[in-house]
Structures are given as C-alpha cells and as structure tokens.
C-alpha cells in the first residue's frame, strides 16, 4: 500500500504546482518530455536485459497480448460510433490496453498473494505490458500524433518508420536487445537505475499538474468508457478466458489481478507527450489509480469466492 501513498503524494504535488504562479502553463509538457527522452529509455535499458521467457509461464506472458487484440478493435469501433477526435482515439488506443502492472501491480500482487505471486506478475509486466508499450504504443503514437494535412492525406509508411526509429524509447529498446548478453559496468547500471527511478515521480507530478476535475464535455464519455474497460471489462474477459485453467492456480489468479490494474503511467506519459488529448490522458491515469483502490480488492474477493463454490 505504500506505493499508493507515494502516488497520491506525487499527484497532490502536481495539483499544488498547477495552482502556483511560479510554474508556467507548459510545465506538464516539459516534465513529459523529460520522461520520454530520459526516464522511459532508462527504464527500457533497465528491464529488457532481464527478460526470461519460460514455456511453463505462457498464461501471464500471452494474456496482455490477447487483451490488446480484443480492446483495439473495440476502441476503434467506439471511436467510429461516437465520432471521437483523432487525438482522443490515439490516446485511448495507447492508454486503455496497457495496465500499471509494475509500480501498482507488484505491491498489490504481493499484498494479495505474497512474494510467491511476484514472478508471475513480473512476466506479465515485462513480456506483456512493457513490450506492448515499447512496440505497439510507439507505433500508435507515431501514427496519431502526426498531423493530417489539409488535403486529409496521412503520413507515408516511410515517414512513420522514421518517426518510430527516431523515438527515444524505441532506440533504447534496440540498444537493450543488442546489449542483452553484456553486463553493464556497475556505475553505468547505477546511472540507468537512478534515471529509471525518476519516471514515476516525474510523470505523476505531470499528471497532477494536468489533471482537471472539470473535464470538457467531449472528454467525459471517453474517460468513463476507459475506466470501465480498464477496471471492469478487461479483468472480466480475462476471468472468462482463463476459467477453464482452474481459478485456484496462483498463476491464473495473479494474471487476472494484473489485468485489473489501472492504466499504465508510462502509456499516459506517451499519449500526453504526443499531444493526444493530454487532459483526457491525465484523467484516465489519475482517476484510474484512485478507483483501483476500490476495484482491486473487489476482484480479489470475487476470485477467492469463486474458488470455493
């Protein structure tokens, strides 16, 4: 629970700075730029070299990708049906499929299941959420953040590829894969770790700085849908999909709980930095963290009840 206290503190700092005249209006964008160009690449370099895929652990490894395959068509259908703007669609496509499966996920899994659940949560986060952020979310950001010309033409494949390969987290991903079997010098690892640790405080302050309790009318329905999909529908789909594997197995319970986590902070940072509905993106992250304090215990108790009937 300590991490929730930290998150709440960072959000409060951002809200306080938002009302201070000492910080310019673009402070949130500056903090987001730091995350994208420094903290997030450092996190990639910190985590990717330690990826380990085991055939026995396919459930937590593949579930995030299954949920991605389900939520993306749903969001695109909702976008067309509800006439979302390009920015709103891009933000929803980046944020909704990705859960906060590490900073919020790890301590919550340990609180519910003890240290035995952490390896499964780690696999869900690294092979699922984190790779989806590095690959899929980067592509979505490149597509939707590129302005459409007056003629309505969309960026060419070459332009999109250039945007992707020049994107700092993607560059860090390639570097991490190349350096996978090479041990960083101790000072280099400490440097990378120290930068990676700044991601959550900086981006949550940025989220607080941009968090608006009175949203524009066009943002209210997407926010509600995002929270319902992320905190209710996603874990429900995972529960149905994994029901046949036996809900009493720890790996299944951890996977369902990871699917119930709120929106990923880094995904919100990516959407905001890309100029994709920044107020909406901040609201999905901020409100999601607050609401999960209620929804996560409910999902846990539901799982325990289902294992006894």
Kindly tell me if the per-residue pLDDT of 149 is higher than 50. no
Q: Please give the average per-residue pLDDT across 256-271, as a whole number.
A: 91
Kindly tell me if the per-residue pLDDT of 78 is higher than 90. yes
Q: Are 212 and 284 in contact (CB under 8 A)?
A: no
Kindly tell me if the per-residue pLDDT of 101 is higher than 60. yes
Per-residue pLDDT tens digits for 203-244: 778 777 877 777 777 888 999 999 999 999 999 999 999 988
What is the average pLDDT score of the chain?
A: 84
**Which tops the pLDDT comparison, 218 or 296?**
296
- pLDDT score recorded for residue 111: 77
- Assign 134 a pLDDT band (cuts: 50, 70, 90): confident
**Which tops the pLDDT comparison, 52 or 118?**
118
Global confidence as pTM: 0.76
Burial letters 124-149, b for 16+ CB under 10 A, else e: bbbbbbbbbbbebbbbbbbbbbbeee
- pLDDT score recorded for residue 303: 94
Per-residue pLDDT tens digits for 163-207: 667 778 778 878 887 887 778 889 998 999 999 888 778 877 877
């Amino acid at each position: 629970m300590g991490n929730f206290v930290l998150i709440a503190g960072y959000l409060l700092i951002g809200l306080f700075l938002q009302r201070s005249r000492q910080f310019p209006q673009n402070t949130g964008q500056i903090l987001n730029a730091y995350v994208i160009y420094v903290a997030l690449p450092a996190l990639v370099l910190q985590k990717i070299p330690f990826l380990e895929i085991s055939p026995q652990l396919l459930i937590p490894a593949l579930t995030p990708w299954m949920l991605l395959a389900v939520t993306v068509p749903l969001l695109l259908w909702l976008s067309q049906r509800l006439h979302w703007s390009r920015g709103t669609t891009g933000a929803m496509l980046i944020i909704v499929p990705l859960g906060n499966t590490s900073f919020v996920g790890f301590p919550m899994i340990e609180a519910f299941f003890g240290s035995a659940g952490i390896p499964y949560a780690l696999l869900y986060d690294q092979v699922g959420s984190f790779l989806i952020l590095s690959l899929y979310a980067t592509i979505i950001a490149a597509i939707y953040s590129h302005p459409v010309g007056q003629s309505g033409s969309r960026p060419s494949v070459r332009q999109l590829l250039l945007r992707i390969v020049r994107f700092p987290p993607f560059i860090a991903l390639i570097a991490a894969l190349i350096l996978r079997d090479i041990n960083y010098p101790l000072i280099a690892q400490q440097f990378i770790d120290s930068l990676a640790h700044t991601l959550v405080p900086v981006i949550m302050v940025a989220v607080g700085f941009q968090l608006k309790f009175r949203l524009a009318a066009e943002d209210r329905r997407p926010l509600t849908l995002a929270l319902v999909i992320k905190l209710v529908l996603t874990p429900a789909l995972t529960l149905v999909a994994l029901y046949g594997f036996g809900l009493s197995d720890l790996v299944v319970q951890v996977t369902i709980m990871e699917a119930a986590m709120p929106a990923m902070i880094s995904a919100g940072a990516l959407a905001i930095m890309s100029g994709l509905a920044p107020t909406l993106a901040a609201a999905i992250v901020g409100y999601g963290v607050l609401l999960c304090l209620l929804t996560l215990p409910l999902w846990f108790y539901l799982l325990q009840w289902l294992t006894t009937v």
